[in-house]
Amino acid sequence: MKKLLTVAIAAAALAGTAQAQTIQGNAKAAEAKVAMCIGCHAIPGYRVAYPEIYSVPMLGGQSAPYIVAALQAYKKGERKHPTMRAIAGSLSDQDMADIAEYYSAQTPATPMNKLK
């Protein structure tokens, strides 16, 4: 019984991984999705003081897998910033992939409305 349960859990994990790997980000599609990001992540040196002081990172040039992983961690509650948890909770896996692709196609100095 334990062996069957272990196999079932492993199969479910692999299925989830395979599904996540098939999602391709689309930077163009993200242009309509990043408005909520720009207010904080487009301001060099920006800090947020709620609920504690956070230095807000610039996202341009960040790797797409890192951005997706960070958004998923906020959505799962593994990262604690309340605003980011709420935003990530509203995003689908496709939204996350699109946003990640959008920001990875930029440099930190790229204007927010211009792709490479």
pLDDT digits (tens, 9 = 90+) for 34-54: 999 998 998 888 998 877 888
Across residues 81-107, what is the average pLDDT? 96
Residue 115 or residue 106, greater confidence: 106
The pLDDT assigned to 51 comes to 74
The b-or-e profile of 98-109 (16+ CB within 10 A means b, else e) is: bbbbbbbbbeee
Q: Taking all residues of the chain, what is their mean pLDDT, rounded to a whole number?
A: 83
Domain spans of the chain, in order of start: 24-104
Q: Of 71, 70, 47, which Cα lies nearest the Cα of 57?
A: 47
Please tell me the least confidently modeled range out of 1-5, 66-70, 101-105. 1-5
64 pLDDT more than 80:
yes
Q: Of 57, 67, 56, which Cα lies nearest the Cα of 101?
A: 67
**Tokens, residue 56:** 């807000």
The pLDDT assigned to 7 comes to 42
Q: Does domain 24-104 have CATH number 1.10.760.10?
A: yes
